[in-house]
Amino acid sequence: MPDPKHCLHRGQRGVNTRFSGCTSGMEHRRLGKSGIKVSVLSFGSWVTFGDQLDIAKATESMQAAWDAGVTFFDNAEAYAGGQSETIMGEVLRRMGLDRKTYTISTKLFWGITDGPNTKNTLNRKYLMEGIDGSLERLGLDHVDLLFCHRSDPETPMEEVVWAMSDIIAQGKAYYWGTSEWTGAEYKEACEVAARLNLRAPVMEQPQYNLFERHKVETDYADIYDTHGMGLTTWSPLASGLLTGKYSDGIPEGSRGSLPSYSWLQDRLTDEQALGKVRELGAIADELGASLAQLSIAWCAANPHVSSVITGASRVEQVHHNMEAAALIPSMTPDVMHRIDAIFG
């Protein structure tokens, strides 16, 4: 008998089950117009796997997320130069999960080997070979979701859509989408797919948090209904700014302290932004939540967001972040209005 904490409520035919829940309390939402459902909170490996977490610690964190009801895990070819996929693949083997019970995504564009056709591209050669490399590192025969990690102005959209459609036809991915594309680029991909009778994208993975809202709330505004776009959003805590831990500088061991992320330091110590975080803290206190939990719940309160991708450098952060799921019903119109008054 399957573990009830990971069951998905099917709903009745003809009934809107976009926000149907799981009996564990972890809600699962339809990914846009597609039939697949993803946990409203998911767990991703950007920055942490390979940089801050070895296999043992990554296993501990993914197990904690799974135990909290997370069934969607996000990755990308470029994370830690491919090492992130290798670590996640090993963790999945150690956890011994039934492949049918979880959803995995990866992303292609940046590349991990030097060459004219292997970096910063979406040409057919790269995509067809890139997915094979990702699957080998993950130790899987398919991923559920495959994203084009950025757009590529040098490759014709027809070539991109053909390649992604062929990857799906080969069973190496079940759905494809985009990450950080403009609304116009996403629409073009959908129009090409319709014209050539190919597979259209069904999801986009943009940055979305209280400091970064334009794409989700403005640029994509008409696409949710016209093309059924679903969102798996990243950086709900604005690289840690919305946790409040940078209020007194950059702590040792934090993301902002990593040499490879020195470009974040000015943003993390911006006094105007920190002032807004302090104001948000008062609302969090009223709700009996942390800044991190409130910020994650705010993202999930957007009806167009299918899943909020969380990350963690310690298992304690996983436990803490997962508690945001219980806070989502507290995102009332009044609370949302008060938050908008600070960040709007």
Phi, psi of 247 (to 5 degrees): -60, -30
Task: Quote the pLDDT of residue 10.
Answer: 28
pTM above 0.85, yes or no: yes
Structure tokens at 181: 């594309």
Rounded to the nearest 10 degrees, what angle do helices 183-196 and 157-169 cross at?
A: 60
- Number of CB atoms found within 10 A of residue 174's CB: 16
Instruction: Walk along the chain (344 residues) and give the pLDDT tens digit of each residue.
Output: 334 334 433 232 222 333 333 435 799 999 999 999 999 999 999 877 767 788 999 999 999 999 999 999 999 999 999 999 999 999 999 999 999 999 999 999 999 999 999 999 999 999 999 999 999 999 999 999 999 999 999 999 999 999 999 999 999 999 999 999 999 999 999 999 999 999 999 999 999 999 999 999 999 999 999 999 999 999 999 989 999 987 766 767 666 566 766 766 777 788 899 999 999 999 999 999 999 999 999 999 999 999 999 999 899 999 999 999 999 999 999 999 999 999 98
Q: Which fold has domain 38-238+302-343?
A: TIM Barrel (3.20.20)
* 3-state helix, strand and coil shares in percent for the chain, rounded to the nearest 5: 45, 15, 40
Active site residue 261: no
In whole angstroms, give the CA distance from residue 268 to residue 252. Answer: 14
- Here the tokens at position 240 are 């840690």
How far apart (Å, rounded) are the C-alpha atoms in residues 124 and 117? 9
Cα–Cα distances (Å) from 305 to 36, 212, 222, in that order, read 14, 14, 14
Q: Nearest Cα to 46, choosing from 87, 15, 74?
A: 74
How far apart (Å, rounded) are the C-alpha atoms in residues 176 and 155? 17
The kind and range of the H/E element at 120 are none
286: left (phi over 0), alpha (psi -120 to 50) or beta: alpha
Angle between helical axes of 271-287 and 291-300 (0-180°, round to 10): 90
What's the pLDDT score for residue 258?
A: 63
